[in-house]
Amino acid sequence: MFPSRLLAFAAAGLLALFVGHSFAQPKKPPVATDSLPVPPEKEAMKEKRTRAHAVLDALTAGDPDALRRNAEVLSLIADMRVFVSGYKTEEYRYQAKVFKHAADDLVAAAKAKNMDAAALAYADMTRTCVKCHTHFRGVKD
């Protein structure tokens, strides 16, 4: 009795090892967002940071094409379900909405090659980054 149980235990262990090995590097989970190849919020936020920095580069370089490309991605991120409904506080939803408006203003300004309007929209947008993060930290703590 005991040895066979031991054997079964060892076999289970081996199986676990084998399974563990074959699944040690699982593929990334399928994209769970609506329209973007960006996984949920954390990655979306990193992408926002990258794109927001690129917008600043485009503004300072006076490059409306780069501005439009990056602003369009920011606007798409603003539409992601995880971003729009991921957090339930009113302040979060409000800042998410303002962020979306600012991103859209940025796209429009880039298309019109109006760099002054773009700079304003960029300022609006970055205010929402800071305000939402401050709010979120308050909620979490």
Q: Binding residues for ligand HEC, per CB under 6 A?
A: 41-42, 45-46, 48-49, 52, 87, 92, 95-96, 99, 125, 128-129, 132-133, 136
Instruction: Tell me how far, at minimum, the Cβ of 122 lies from ligand HEC, in Å.
Output: 9
Give least dist CB 127 to ligand HEC, A: 9
Q: Which amino acid is at 43?
A: E
CB of 12 to ligand HEC, least distance (A): 36
**Residue 35, phi then psi, degrees to nearest 5:** -135, -5
d(CA 84, CA 78): 7
Residue with Cβ nearer ligand HEC (115 or 125): 125
CB of 71 to ligand HEC, least distance (A): 11
Q: Would the CA dihedral through 119, 116, 107, 99 be positive or negative?
A: positive
Query: With the C-alpha atoms ordered 4, 9, 15, 18, is the resulting torsion angle positive or negative?
Result: negative
Q: Which is nearer to ligand HEC, 40 or 111 (CB)?
A: 40
The one-letter amino acid at 37: P
